């Protein structure tokens, strides 16, 4: 299941909004996946 925020962010990166957005996505995604894994582990 894709998170809406991640989907929106991905679309921005696809459009090539800004280099900062690309960098943010690259940094954000691994952290998000780690957080999601931790959250699932708690349940």
User: How many other CB atoms sit within 10 Å of the CB of residue 37?
Assistant: 10
In the prediction, which pLDDT does 2 show? Answer: 58
- Answer yes or no: pTM beyond 0.75: no
Q: What is the pLDDT of residues 2-42, one digit of tens each?
A: 566 777 766 665 665 677 766 777 777 777 777 767 766 66
The rounded distance, in Å, linking the Cα atoms of 41 and 18 is 34
Residues 9, 25 contacting (CB under 8 angstroms): yes
């Amino acid at each position: 299941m894709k998170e809406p925020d991640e989907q929106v962010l991905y679309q921005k990166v696809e459009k090539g909004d800004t280099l900062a957005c690309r960098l943010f996505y690259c940094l954000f995604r691994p952290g998000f996946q780690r957080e999601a894994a931790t959250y699932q582990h708690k349940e």
